[in-house]
Amino acid sequence: MVALACAAPPGEVEASGDERLPPIVLVSIDTLRSDRLPAYGYDGVETPAVDRLAADGVRFERAYTHVNVTLPSHASLFTGLLPPEHGVRDNAGYRLDEAIPTLAAELGQAGYATGGFVSSYVLRAGTGIARGFDVYDDEVGFETGRQLGQLQRPGGETLAAASEWLDGVAGAPFFLFLHLYEPHAPYEPPPPFAERYRENPYDGEVAAADAVVGALMRRLEELGVYDNALVVLLSDHGEGLMDHGEMDHLILIYREVLQVPLIVKLPGGERAGERVAANAQLADVAPAVYSLLGLEPPPGLAGEDLLALGTGAPDRAPRRIVSESVYPRIHFGWSDLASVVEGDLHFIDSPEPELFRLSEDPGERNNVIQEERTAARRLRAALAEIDRSLAAPAEDDPEVRRRLESLGYLSGGAGGGDGPLADPKSRIAVVADLGRAMRLADAGELAEAESALRAVVDEEPQLVLAWQYLGDVLERRKRPGQALEAYRKAFDLSAGGASAAGLKVAELLLQEGSVAEAREHALAVVDRSPMANDVLAQAAMLEGDLEAAGELLERAMEERGARVRPLITKTAWLNRQDRFEEALALSEGLLAEFGERRDREILGHLYLYRGAALAALGREGESESAYREAIALRPDLLGAYSGLAFLQALMGRGAEVGRTLQEMVTVNPNPAAYAEAVRALRAMNDPGSANGVLGEALRRWPDAEELRPLAASQ
């Protein structure tokens, strides 16, 4: 849980007259299509809570999001700005500028206690989306190798945390933001919804989310605040469900992805049951809250008062609602998409533009652009008035740009390149192929996943995501050199924008001993990947600068969330200072908390450092067990073999030393393993054996950089 600010003392701010400021509850159900709710005409699922809220409130029949991914959409929701205006264009690599006012910050200034509780890692506090919240609970577990969209927690757990907070603020004006993730893929509804909706698990997840909403409404009633509360329920975007060839929502921006539910229950049940047909947008929500409370809105908002829609002059020009999809540009090297809804028309700008009449063609099957050429030109011109230029995230920072240029990563790339790009809808089958490869990888079928990913990059060699996932698969297949090449390719194609790939390049370079280059890569992504501080700390330790390593570790731990890696590195840092008891205590705490992780391989280093601490404390038997556990988890962890060999020598079991080092080079037949064996044998004062191992290595790899300094010091 992240405490970001201190609220004004509860209860001090009152509305004009005798009535207190109303409680405000904003519920965002991720990936929820409006046309998959009974409140919007669907009969395939039961959602009693949403139905009740719609009966108690105002239902906006045609509401639209501005973007098809979670973080930028919520940034628009909280700021009232379009993505090009608030600058958050993707789920990763962007951070909301601290100078931009947010709904939570403005309500905090008005005297509200503010609490945010989210169910997805995508909305973690480090993105800047948490600004203005007194309490922001983003306790979503992080697991190495899992996609961002898979890092989530059940909505019931999120509500439990929110309920605890509500107990302390229910007597004062409060703003609660509750984010639920259930409808998002993978569609795995909990009981009883899994059985009830076995044929349509997406609907099962919708029903599960509705159950959480129902529990929230009951809690608000128990606290006596529901009737007087302003409750807003919405979604950040919809889901493709193969309507236009895309199962999820990352690429295309047809109606099924852009149109979202939007229901507003006003204090005292005012306007209950009303339907508003006028087009609405998520950027209208914040202005509506400001208007209802009588607050002066920040200047320059793209949205307008939601609650005033449909009440203007009848001759008013139809409003234009603008949306975008830049994900295909950033991650696939295809054209980005832009969209504008004007009245009943929906124009999608792309290399092959489309225009649809929504009332007569809600499924958007009939492109009428040839019949409506005047309208198409008008709407394209409206889009052209908006500066939608997209640069790689890294280009915002001159120092980062300098580093990337020095590393050779700004010669082009999918994120910032010019020239004609492919129309995403003509390449959508590739997304399905990539999804299949990723599912194979998630299932542990790594050989099949590698084959599928190589087929994808053969067809679409500019695909950043495919190269990134290929790097992950190759790393899991214990081929770090090839993994490094794949991650480099992803980082290069993204012009340095794929910060996750850049971080992996830094980690693998450090693993192979290229400390200076690893540091440069980590510095190039540190502002967008805070865990780069962990790599920098490890580099500092390798160079003997323990003071700098400690400072970098503190930064990494401030941003670590549920990640364990910085704490593992701290164990090594404590060992380097001969603080073995502290290192051992830390390792025991980490094993108690993280020992059953799905991605247990990450604990290999922890067992290595634990083994070293135990050996230094004279607990040889436990040390040996720790080293062997490290090897079992990470057979490529060379330090575990050499540490075990040293321990065996100290225990007078010299015959086992050779077998341990032989196992190391057999399991890891590469120059680095042989170099480790040579160094270990020399340290154990066995120059004859060391020279024999070195000679064999030089015969196999005469030009290996790892062996040159050892050969020179013979």
Convert the pLDDT of each residue in 459-497 to its tens digit: 999 888 899 999 999 998 888 889 999 999 999 888 777
Same domain? For 465 and 400 the reply is yes
- Asked if pLDDT for residue 596 goes beyond 80, the answer is no
Same domain? For 353 and 450 the reply is no
Convert the pLDDT of each residue in 243-258 to its tens digit: 999 999 999 999 999 9
In angstroms, rounded to a whole number, what is the distance separating the alpha carbons of residues 87 and 75? 9
What is the CATH classification number for the domain harbouring 515?
A: 1.25.40.10
Q: Quickly tell me which residue has 């409680």 as its tokens.
A: 23
Same domain? For 303 and 371 the reply is no
Structural domain includes residue 592: no
In angstroms, rounded to a whole number, what is the distance separating the alpha carbons of residues 283 and 323? 11
Structural domain includes residue 108: yes
Structural domain includes residue 665: no
Structural domain includes residue 177: yes
Q: What is the pLDDT of residue 6?
A: 35
DSSP annotation string for 590-642: HHHHHTT-TTGGGGHHHHHHHHHHHHHTT-HHHHHHHHHHHHHH-TT-HHHHH
**β-pair type (63-64, 280-281):** parallel
Higher pLDDT, 688 or 151: 688
Convert the pLDDT of each residue in 652-663 to its tens digit: 998 899 999 999
| Per-residue confidence band for 630, with pLDDT thresholds at 50, 70 and 90 | very high
| Greatest CA separation for the chain | 95
| Per-residue confidence band for 413, with pLDDT thresholds at 50, 70 and 90 | very low
Q: What is the pLDDT of residue 51?
A: 98
Among 529, 549, 566, identify where a domain stops.
Answer: 529
What is the CATH classification number for the domain harbouring 227?
A: 3.40.720.10
Q: What pTM was estimated for this model as a whole?
A: 0.77
Q: Quickly tell me which residue has 């004609």 as its tokens.
A: 420
Determine the length of the chain.
714
Same domain? For 270 and 340 the reply is no
Structural domain includes residue 281: yes
Same domain? For 301 and 334 the reply is no
Same domain? For 378 and 472 the reply is no
Q: Which H or E element spans position 341?
A: strand 337-342
Among 529, 558, 588, identify where a domain stops.
Answer: 529
The domain total for the chain is 3
Q: Is 514 helix (H, G, I), strand (E, B) or coil?
A: coil
> Domain range for residue 352?
327-384
In angstroms, rounded to a whole number, what is the distance separating the alpha carbons of residues 64 and 279? 8
Same domain? For 148 and 290 the reply is yes
Same domain? For 468 and 375 the reply is no
Same domain? For 97 and 157 the reply is yes
Same domain? For 161 and 49 the reply is yes
Structural domain includes residue 640: no
Q: Radius of gyration over alpha carbons of the chain, in Å?
A: 28
Structural domain includes residue 624: no
Contacts of 22 (CB under 8 A, 6+ apart): 173, 228, 229, 230, 267, 292
Where would I find the H helices in 4-131?
48-56, 70-79, 83-86, 103-109
Same domain? For 375 and 404 the reply is no
Structural domain includes residue 315: no
Same domain? For 399 and 380 the reply is no
Among 481, 509, 529, identify where a domain stops.
Answer: 529
